[in-house]
Homo-oligomer: A and B are copies of this chain.
Amino acid sequence: MSTKKINFGLIGAGRIGSFHGETVARRLKDAELVAIADPAPGAAAKLANSLDVANAYNDVATLLTHPGVDAVIITTPARFHTNLLVQAAEAGKAIFCEKPMALTLDDADRAITAAKKAGVPLQVGFNRRWDSSFAEGRAAIDAGKIGTPQLIRSLTRDPGPFGADPARVPLWTIFYETLIHDFDTLLWLNPGAKPVEVYAIGEALVRPDAKGDGFLDTAVVTIRFDNGSVAVAEANFSALYGYDIRGEVFGSAGMVAMGDVRRSSMTLFDANGVSNDTWRRDTDHFIHGYTAQLGSFVRSVRAGKLIEGPTGSDARNALAIALAAIRSVEAKGPVVVA
């Protein structure tokens, strides 16, 4: 096995970009972060400074021409993902792209084609697959321990209180950016099944004042698959008790349950009863999974092809459900998946 270090360029120095950058710079032994690009004034330079990275740019094009960059991590706002991905592919860089990879099926196809044409690995940031609880659940399903999946559940509850400005949240974010994780999870936990129909409800229960502007913070999505199984995905932006990510697959022979908001097995018993602290941030909850995710990507970059992770096609399949969910909310009834 080649042991060449993989040199990364980071595109996007926001919250998750900074975290992925830190993962590469501080936690991944076989990788280096060599360049950061972000158009926001000073953002790339600031992060580069804190992570001892040599090159900081305000434009992505320069980063892509850096010959030392083997692979890029795209963590910009979602609407820029596809174009940047295509540019990176054309520059011959291996690509790790945050979810959603695209906001339309055409863009998804464009991204997949570009990576394929360039012959570069393309991995998408569905990080739950790398969490030990979810990974063991999938392994149990693969081992036949629950038989055929029949009823599936995946949920995302972001830690509250919700403090963002609804006016700055892009339309349909709960489907494009939040539930896209659950859609991938449901597909991944129901191997071989194809979604056929989607019924979605979207509400603004956390910020009802913003509903008139199209803001949604709560959603329930029911998905029928071609094998008869039924899945429910659920999201809310303000779980006061923490960052709650769970999955459940009930099948003909049993069930697996995955995920727990409890932070560790340390349990406190006091005058208030029995209690556990909870996860409050994705980057705490999934710190080992996030590292494993990029560690796998490093191995793929070395191998010159994706060896494990969620593919562009996986991203397209999850997107198709998100788009159907949006149409279902508009139609106020079930819709067929494209």
- Chain B residue numbers with a CB within 8 Å of A52 are 3
Number of copies: 4
**How far is B252's CA from A238's CA once the two chains are assembled, in angstroms?**
7
Chain B residues lying within 8 Å of A334, measured Cβ to Cβ, are: 199, 332-334
- Say whether B150 contacts A240, CB under 8 Å: no
A28 at the interface (CB under 8 A from B): yes
Q: Considering the complex, give the chain B residue whose CB is closest to the CB of A139.
A: B266
A173 within 8 A of B: no
Asked if A269 and B261 sit within 8 Å, CB to CB, the answer is: yes
Query: How does the 8 Å CB contact mask read for A224-245 relative to B, with 1 for contact and 0 for none?
Result: 1000111010101011111010
> Are A230 and B218 in contact, CB atoms less than 8 angstroms apart?
yes
One of A76-84, A273-281, A303-311 contacting the partner: A273-281
Decide: A222 and B224 in contact? CB cutoff 8 A.
Answer: no
Which chain B residues border A194 with CB–CB below 8 Å? none
A12 at the interface (CB under 8 A from B): no
Q: Does A113 contact B (CB under 8 A)?
A: no
Closest partner residue, chain B, to A278 (CB atom)? B273
Contact count band on A? 35 or more
User: A220 touches which one: B222, B255, B258, B273 (CB < 8 A)?
Assistant: B222
Q: Which residues of B contact A262 (CB under 8 A)?
A: 265, 273-274
Q: Which of B27, B254, B264, B268 contacts A269 (CB 8 A)?
A: B254
Distance from A141 Cβ to chain B, minimum over Cβ atoms (Å): 10
In the complex, what residues of B have CB within 8 A of residue A201's CB?
222, 224, 230
Given contacts A257-B265, A273-B276, 11 further A-B contacts (CB under 8 A): A25-B29, A26-B29, A136-B277, A146-B268, A148-B205, A201-B230, A220-B230, A254-B270, A256-B266, A269-B278, A332-B334
A-B contact pairs, 20 of them (CB 8 A): A136-B264, A140-B268, A145-B270, A146-B268, A146-B269, A148-B205, A150-B218, A151-B220, A201-B222, A208-B228, A232-B234, A241-B254, A241-B255, A241-B271, A255-B268, A255-B270, A256-B269, A257-B267, A260-B265, A288-B288
Interface residues of A (CB under 8 A from B): 3, 25-30, 52, 132-134, 136-137, 140, 145-148, 150-151, 157, 199, 201, 203, 205-206, 208, 218, 220, 222, 224, 228-230, 232, 234, 236, 238-242, 244, 250, 252-278, 288, 332-334
